[in-house]
Amino acid sequence: MELNELEPLDETTWRYAPRGAMRVPVILYAQRGLVEAMDQKVLEQAANVSTLPGVVGAVYVMPDGHWGYGFPIGGVAAFDPDRDGVVSAGGVGFDISCGVRTLTTGLRAEALADNGTRERLADALFAHIPAGVGSRGRIRLSDAEMDDMLAGGARWAVAMGWGQPADLERIEEGGCMAGARPDYVSPRARERQRREMGTLGSGNHYLEVQVVDTVYDPNTAARFGLSTGDVVVSIHSGSRGLGHQIGTEALAEMWLAARAHGITLPDRELACAPIRSETGERYLGAMRAAINCALANRQILTHLAREVFAESFPAARLELVYDVSHNTCKAENHRLDGQERRLYVHRKGATRAFPPGHPDIPAVYRDLGQPVLIGGTMGTASYVLAGSPGNERRSFSSACHGAGRAMSRRQATRQWKGAELIRRLQAEGVHVRSPSARGVAEEAPGAYKDVDAVVESAEAAGLARKVARLRPLVCIKG
């Protein structure tokens, strides 16, 4: 990205002033090297978002930002319904409520020190947890069960026996997104999901067994149940085919709605509708149902992981640290121009990171700040962060969600071969299992930005602070 049009406010904050049809500035958070490495289209897309009706504050780009569909991935924008604000399916993404949950196991690294032990665990997890494009699970939902799942999220899953009530205390929204409208979810979206509950999916989705290799904030880490040498499990997955179908259908409807409401779009991919319109309300209801689908899906995946660990390590106890989503639009209270307003915050490839004391953080963590889970990719680190004080005015209390891609999947497959990559990672102590060698190549660690630099930028910018670093031992890849 060219820096000559950006005003550096400090070492990690860059401002692109409004021009043309822009209503608010664009703020990028990243170290200089990360900004220079970003595609110019990231800035173009963020500037386009800033032209939409009702956008307030600024359009923010997180340190892992890269260009996506309509909105940049790593993009955050808030819209005020009292100022004709809009909702955009492109500002949420196709994998609605894709997110990460991390669980402690009670095991220490010594339990997995032997390569043979890791091999057996990798094989057991891969055999038990469906992964890959079009993967099907053991669960087939009836129409009534589908409605209950879309309305109940992880609460439904726990009630069905796939978890424990204590899990719900450590999930955003208490495990269930209010305002879901299963009746707004199309028959096609329902059919795509009927056999996909309890499946990882493909792309960058994974289940990883990791070890805590560094603790930065001992007090917060201890409260999260983390200490150096602990074995943990992280699950990255979303709303699968249902969320993709909802996004696809909504974009077509919003293109027509935008024209009907006289909204000028700089890019068709930014199709949107007024929040207070029939199209907007229908999308929000369906999107919230997809959030519940993702929460239920990760809950079932947790249950499957617990079954494997119970067989392989009877002493293990998988307890949830937290579950966060990073493709959502949520109505939240934020102070704007000295007044508290109800805003619709789009986070596409960005994580909600409420600061200490925020009432929507579970009581057990409220004084610490919301846990923020940053996913890695097979051979790289993942991180646990916590929301920083004052980040509401910096980013509507948002942070990054991962390393962010540095090259396209097609470019990655030209540079790496999946089988060779699996062998190399195993030599480094990371045991990868995947139904697709091509999928492994697409997600090669080298295809992503330096996650350490991304996290350093997020902390330096005051978005979230480092708590612990996690290193992979086993990766089940979609």
Active site residues: 401
Alpha carbons within 13 angstroms on the beta-carbon side of residue 154 total: 31
HEC readout, the chain: CCCCCCEEEECCEEEECCCCCCCCCEEEECCHHHHHHCCHHHHHHHHHHCCCCCEEEEEEEEEEEECCCCCCEEEEEEECHHHCCEEEHHHCCCCCCCEEEEEEEEEEHHHHCCHHHHHHHHHHHHHHCCCCCCCCCCCCCCHHHHHHHHHHHHHHHHHCCCCCHHHHCCEHHHHCCCCCCHHHCCHHHHHHHCCCCCCCCCCCCEEEEEEEEEECCHHHHHHHCCCCCEEEEEEEECCHHHHHHHHHHHHHHHHHHHHHCCCCCCCHHHCEEECCCHHHHHHHHHHHHHHHHHHHHHHHHHHHHHHHHHHHCCCCCCEEEEEEECEEEEEEEEEECCEEEEEEEEEECCEECCCCCCCCCCCCCCCCCCEEEEECCCCCCEEEEEECCCHHHHHCCEECCECCECCCHHHHHHHCCHHHHHHHHHHCCCEEECCCHHHHHHCCHHHECCHHHHHHHHHHCCCEEEEEEEEEEEEEEC
> Residue 146: phi, psi to the nearest 5?
-60, -45
CA angle 433–378–370, rounded 5-degree value = 120
Task: Please state, in angstroms and rounded to a whole number, the distance separating the CA atoms of residues 173 and 70.
Answer: 27
Nearest to 89 by CA among 279, 296, 367, 334: 279
Q: Are 140 and 348 in contact (CB under 8 A)?
A: no
